[in-house]
Structure 1
């Protein structure tokens, strides 16, 4: 799996979102320094506000993850919004993992837990607002009270207020959403619904704080001059916002480093308690008045944002063009080339693979639609930019191996994402980055685009297969599988034309002897079995270039391009031998036999197969008459 180095698996959602990018990049740095591969299972989960169309089916990947192959596992439980996914994941980890498991965001029984001390963090910021800024009327914007962290921080706020001798409910509590959608509603609540307008509002996370600041500004209230607003979590966006947020740093960097170090130390015999608390750190910013923005730095940042905005528009144009290209490909090879040519705007990467599931018949998920994973996969796409898979043989491997082995033994950073379209399972993709940085948001767009392209490719393959099947039905004999009369005439004419008037060609007519007697004495079902038996022997003795068809009840035509009298004699001898061998081994009460006629002719430009067949048919009939005369 990847290479000979030990690997740490990290389970999280949308690694480019919020604090998780910083967390993942710090894990990468720590793992690389200790010589581990970092393997991220990147779930997309809920995209935007409520789009779970992709995430609803990601749980299927959970069944094929080789948990026992990892030297350590880190799980970021709070990043999952689809709880059934994380429940299935935790169940499988408990059942199959044999390594240390670190929960890096919530308390989970049976695992080592690195838990941020929310109670201490809330108290730290409440105390700062009360003692440093002298505020007594302090409001609170909680997270959803059906969310574990929402409840925890709500209770921590009430406890901190009580501890400081302030009203438990403060100046008022508004239930938020941990996101940007309720800023206006919250601003209205604190301005119009509270007995007095709060001097400060503490928000249970930074995203709600930014939304609330905008809500206050839209209603003519200045932050921090009129109302202090603080956040919680210390996310990067909050520190880039104007005014820069006063917040509490959850120290995700420390959590990431400690998680990796714990795995390494436990593997060497170190002991750790079930729960290790991460101490909070106060971030004093502009939104409480502790600091003021530096105009020169803000101008520099605005210019940087303008450049990034221009790049985003440019990249969007790339993706639109690539999406159109990828959705008209006709083969997996074209899809591979499209990704290699166009997918360059999400960060530096070493390699990209798509592993497609393979069923018990050797069919991949691009050949046959699958609604559940299998235990074998095939590298349908490999884009290798640094020669990591040089000279690799593309072959079916077990999902226990998961990925083709690289030629290099350097520590790698790999991100795994489920590849599916609705309920349809294709497999999973992996991307190996060049450094410790994660990819950007555009990579997820590429994955979704490729999943749709693979669905289109599967449907095209199915349609082509159906057309081929229908065409095959129209030219094949249903009983024997040989060509029918129409099929024989079409294929033999094509073969004759391809000879371009050179060489010799042969037509043969083979007619079963005594079929009527078999039908009369043993039934038509037995007659059909005799016909199938003879057809099988004809197919067996013919050379690869021969074209054979059943053109009547007991009559077979054969056309052989580039054929001379010696080859005809060889085919006839083999056929008679096959018939004799069959009769000697058969327990049937009848003898199988056939009459044979052949005609070899120069393949002149004007020759027609039917003319050769007519002469071969006359010779076959002559042989049949000779047999009858001999029997008489």
Structure 2
């Protein structure tokens, strides 16, 4: 294997705005930078809005990955709550044959794994609460048991309870999803249960512990005087809140760096251990009643907090400006202009906006139920922003993932899904910019972009529908020429212009002969056929400066501006000749026939369009009467 060739590594992860993912990604990115590796993260924000339909759209990004185009994969499948999604990812990566590192799972011997010992350290924490603080009744706020880390921490809690001779009451367990809001829901569930207050709430992570403490304090409980609360992960917020939360400190940055190191060595052909276990440490502090073991020093805390607040405020302003700008767009071109104007504020090198080739279709925009991977076979990249330069790519195979192919340099790429509900619209790629992992508003940005492009799609179809309604208002659907409304709207303007310019106008009124005979003897389908053929003849006779219309059931008009006597003669001659030709061509058991009466007059202010039409109608009627009289005399 060519060690000088850029290595392309894919990382699959759920969520980017949690400290766990953030710190592991920092470690992986550091190793990638040091070893000239091109890393591509495929990420979604599943479970954020409480909608299963929405989550289907989010997860579409994982179907985009073509693992065979990468040299290796890092699977942070421990961040997924769904076992089905994990198995789908494992199945696809197996078939690619590339080396794989899995986080927090040793259940797949064909993969390498990087693990932090969740079970032992969680058991140490629970034993501390029981043995050191004398807790007897404990509530547990669990992560998803389908998640390997959630299961390991849950099993550790049960094991510690059993070892200490304590009973685990099922009604004192709340099964969450590692989301911050689960802490509040768990306390709401406890309040509704009417159970006595426990000695402690053991939480499977810090996010849930923080909201659990907030909810308990709103109920008037003091932590840890009334009840102890513990977490897991030892995040910045957990160790610097008041009270500081007893938690578990894990070597996350080291785990990310080590995982990338192991994968790189495997790709290079160097033998590596199949399993790497890193140790974690329990930190006992204020929320369980222990002395504060360690917190960030005040100056460091203030700087970090200020940077977070400043970045969040700037991001809010950017997203608000983007939202306001996109709200005023009515076309795809305007939409991309607004994005292009603001995208530099993401502080990235490259931004690629990619849509399914059929994103504007009425119903089939890469539906997950109709496409093999949630995306159309081809994508389009209408906006590529590259260090301030703008360009686009017409179409490219969705299996390429990158509109312009892999970069032959060390890059960090974040792929994020664009969708509306469960309907896949595309994705966008941020290259060499940390916005997806540091900003709390990355998911908000994604939803703004997705909702706005969906609005553009709907507006596109609304305009098409309006155009069609307008067309139906002025076009006769059977004959595909103007109807009475369309004729009057257009011809009236033409008539007024002729009056102003003192030009002659010609108006011909045409009435079909024998339509009732055709309908009664051969059916209305044949009657419609005859009307259509007559309309085609009339349309073909309508030259430059003329318009024609179906004025009624079997009545038609032709209106011509700046006409002469020759125009009248020429029109009627051609009309009668075309009638003869069509009858010779169709060989029907009936004859398509019509009477035409034409008026040539100088337009003046005393006339109206309707008065001219009436004059032509009267003349046509005289001709029709003469034709009937002639037929009667022939029979005699």
- 1:567-607 CA distances to partner (integer Å, 9 max, x unpaired)? 99998898778767655653534454666666777888888
Give the corresponding residue for 1:405: 404
| Distance (whole Å) between structure 1 residues aligned to residue 315 and residue 478 of structure 2 | 58
Does residue 164 of structure 2 align to residue 169 of structure 1?
yes
Instruction: Choose 204-213 or 563-572, whichever is displaced more.
Output: 563-572
| Distance (whole Å) between structure 2 residues aligned to residue 376 and residue 310 of structure 1 | 42
Give the corresponding residue for 1:448: 447
Q: Secondary structure at the match of 1:478?
A: coil
| Distance (whole Å) between structure 1 residues aligned to residue 553 and residue 387 of structure 2 | 62
8 Å CA contact 2:116, 2:280 repeated in 1: no
Give the corresponding residue for 1:330: 330
Does residue 527 of structure 2 align to residue 527 of structure 1?
yes
Map 1:24-63 → 2, pairs under 5 A:
24-31=25-32, 37-47=38-48, 54-60=54-60
Give the corresponding residue for 2:111: 112
Instruction: Choose 50-59 or 593-602, whichever is displaced more.
Output: 593-602
Q: Secondary structure at the match of 1:400?
A: helix
Sort the Cα spacing of 1:183 and 1:478 in 2 relative to 1 into closer, same or farther, 3 A. closer
Give the corresponding residue for 1:80: 80
| Distance (whole Å) between structure 2 residues aligned to residue 110 and residue 601 of structure 1 | 95
| Distance (whole Å) between structure 2 residues aligned to residue 235 and residue 417 of structure 1 | 25
| Distance (whole Å) between structure 1 residues aligned to residue 9 and residue 577 of structure 2 | 65
Give the corresponding residue for 2:193: none
Give the corresponding residue for 1:473: 472
* C-alpha deviation, 1:609, in angstroms: 5.0
Q: Secondary structure at the match of 1:78?
A: helix
| Distance (whole Å) between structure 2 residues aligned to residue 110 and residue 573 of structure 1 | 90
* C-alpha deviation, 1:22, in angstroms: 2.6
Give the corresponding residue for 1:491: 490
Does residue 558 of structure 2 align to residue 558 of structure 1?
yes
Q: How many residues align?
A: 600
| Distance (whole Å) between structure 1 residues aligned to residue 574 and residue 366 of structure 2 | 39
Q: Secondary structure at the match of 2:492?
A: helix
- 1:2-26 CA distances to partner (integer Å, 9 max, x unpaired)? xx98754433222122211233344
8 Å CA contact 2:505, 2:602 repeated in 1: yes
8 Å CA contact 1:125, 1:248 repeated in 2: no
Sort the Cα spacing of 1:234 and 1:524 in 2 relative to 1 into closer, same or farther, 3 A. same
Q: Secondary structure at the match of 2:486?
A: helix
8 Å CA contact 2:499, 2:605 repeated in 1: yes
| Distance (whole Å) between structure 2 residues aligned to residue 446 and residue 367 of structure 1 | 21
Please report the TM-score for the alignment, with normalisation by the length of structure 1: 0.72
| Distance (whole Å) between structure 1 residues aligned to residue 573 and residue 262 of structure 2 | 77
Give the corresponding residue for 1:375: 376
Q: Secondary structure at the match of 2:142?
A: coil
Sort the Cα spacing of 1:481 and 1:123 in 2 relative to 1 into closer, same or farther, 3 A. closer
8 Å CA contact 2:362, 2:461 repeated in 1: no
| Distance (whole Å) between structure 1 residues aligned to residue 110 and residue 545 of structure 2 | 66
Map 1:577-616 → 2, pairs under 5 A:
583=583, 585-586=585-586, 588-592=588-592, 609-610=609-610
Sort the Cα spacing of 1:577 and 1:333 in 2 relative to 1 into closer, same or farther, 3 A. farther
Unaligned runs of 5+ in 2: 191-195
Sort the Cα spacing of 1:501 and 1:19 in 2 relative to 1 into closer, same or farther, 3 A. farther
Instruction: Choose 444-453 or 610-619, whichever is displaced more.
Output: 610-619
8 Å CA contact 1:100, 1:263 repeated in 2: yes
* C-alpha deviation, 1:258, in angstroms: 4.8
Sort the Cα spacing of 1:312 and 1:248 in 2 relative to 1 into closer, same or farther, 3 A. closer
Does residue 302 of structure 2 align to residue 302 of structure 1?
yes
* C-alpha deviation, 1:205, in angstroms: 3.8
8 Å CA contact 1:251, 1:278 repeated in 2: no
* C-alpha deviation, 1:427, in angstroms: 0.5
Match of 2:427 among 429, 446, 459: 429
8 Å CA contact 2:366, 2:424 repeated in 1: no
Give the corresponding residue for 1:16: 17
8 Å CA contact 1:183, 1:208 repeated in 2: no
Sort the Cα spacing of 1:435 and 1:211 in 2 relative to 1 into closer, same or farther, 3 A. closer
Q: Secondary structure at the match of 1:152?
A: helix
| Distance (whole Å) between structure 2 residues aligned to residue 574 and residue 412 of structure 1 | 72
- 1:506-544 CA distances to partner (integer Å, 9 max, x unpaired)? 655555555455445423321211212333455467569
| Distance (whole Å) between structure 1 residues aligned to residue 74 and residue 205 of structure 2 | 23
| Distance (whole Å) between structure 2 residues aligned to residue 582 and residue 65 of structure 1 | 60
| Distance (whole Å) between structure 1 residues aligned to residue 582 and residue 36 of structure 2 | 67
Q: Secondary structure at the match of 1:382?
A: strand
Sort the Cα spacing of 1:303 and 1:403 in 2 relative to 1 into closer, same or farther, 3 A. closer
| Distance (whole Å) between structure 1 residues aligned to residue 59 and residue 29 of structure 2 | 25
Q: Secondary structure at the match of 2:399?
A: coil
Sort the Cα spacing of 1:72 and 1:155 in 2 relative to 1 into closer, same or farther, 3 A. same
| Distance (whole Å) between structure 2 residues aligned to residue 543 and residue 374 of structure 1 | 49
* C-alpha deviation, 1:363, in angstroms: 2.8
- 1:145-191 CA distances to partner (integer Å, 9 max, x unpaired)? 862434423545787x79xxxx82388988575554468999xxxx9
Give the corresponding residue for 1:144: 142
* C-alpha deviation, 1:552, in angstroms: 2.8
CA RMSD of aligned residues (A): 5.5
| Distance (whole Å) between structure 1 residues aligned to residue 404 and residue 139 of structure 2 | 50
8 Å CA contact 2:365, 2:425 repeated in 1: no
Sort the Cα spacing of 1:571 and 1:249 in 2 relative to 1 into closer, same or farther, 3 A. farther
Q: Secondary structure at the match of 1:363?
A: coil
| Distance (whole Å) between structure 2 residues aligned to residue 367 and residue 212 of structure 1 | 41
Q: Secondary structure at the match of 2:17?
A: coil
Q: Secondary structure at the match of 1:358?
A: coil
Please report the TM-score for the alignment, with normalisation by the length of structure 2: 0.71
- 1:455-504 CA distances to partner (integer Å, 9 max, x unpaired)? 55555555555554444433332322322112211122245557895588
* C-alpha deviation, 1:430, in angstroms: 0.3
| Distance (whole Å) between structure 2 residues aligned to residue 555 and residue 588 of structure 1 | 21
| Distance (whole Å) between structure 2 residues aligned to residue 572 and residue 406 of structure 1 | 65
8 Å CA contact 1:377, 1:427 repeated in 2: no
Sort the Cα spacing of 1:319 and 1:525 in 2 relative to 1 into closer, same or farther, 3 A. same
| Distance (whole Å) between structure 1 residues aligned to residue 19 and residue 586 of structure 2 | 76
8 Å CA contact 1:367, 1:462 repeated in 2: no
Give the corresponding residue for 2:436: 438
Sort the Cα spacing of 1:510 and 1:116 in 2 relative to 1 into closer, same or farther, 3 A. same
* C-alpha deviation, 1:615, in angstroms: 6.9
Instruction: Choose 621-630 or 172-181, whichever is displaced more.
Output: 621-630
